[in-house]
Amino acid sequence: MMIPVRCFSCGKVIGEHWEEFEERARDGEEDPAAVLDDLGVDRHCCRRMMVSHRDLVDVVSPYQ
Ligand SMILES: [Zn+2]
């Protein structure tokens, strides 16, 4: 599925950072922790949203 717009725990908007995070952190180009620091995602609850997310929307959408 797509990344939730807001952090489940604190409600901070994190969806706006997903595309840049994925692009920069994919393939190990940059350290994911450094990218999150750079994007201003500093709380642990928000960081776990980004780190643990997996985009499955393209996999699931044909079955809806
Ligand atoms: Zn949060």
In a domain, 44, yes or no: yes
Answer with the residue of higher pLDDT: 14 or 61.
Answer: 14
Which CATH number fits the domain that encloses residue 25? 1.10.10.60
In a domain, 46, yes or no: yes
In a domain, 40, yes or no: yes
In a domain, 48, yes or no: yes
| Residue 23 CA, ligand 1 centroid: distance in Å | 21
| Residue 59 CA, ligand 1 centroid: distance in Å | 27
Using DSSP, state whether 46 is helix, strand or coil. Answer: helix
pLDDT, average across residues 39-55: 95
Query: Mean pLDDT in the chain?
Result: 92
| Residue 56 CA, ligand 1 centroid: distance in Å | 22
**Hunting for tokens 């920069």 — which residue is that?**
24
Total-model pTM: 0.81
pLDDT digits (tens, 9 = 90+) for 10-41: 999 999 999 999 999 987 789 999 999 999 99
pLDDT of the residue at 8? 96
In a domain, 64, yes or no: no
In a domain, 63, yes or no: no
Rounded CA separation 31/56 (Å): 23
Domain hosting residue 31, numbered range: 1-57
* pLDDT at 64 > cutoff 80: no
Domains identified in the chain, total number: 1
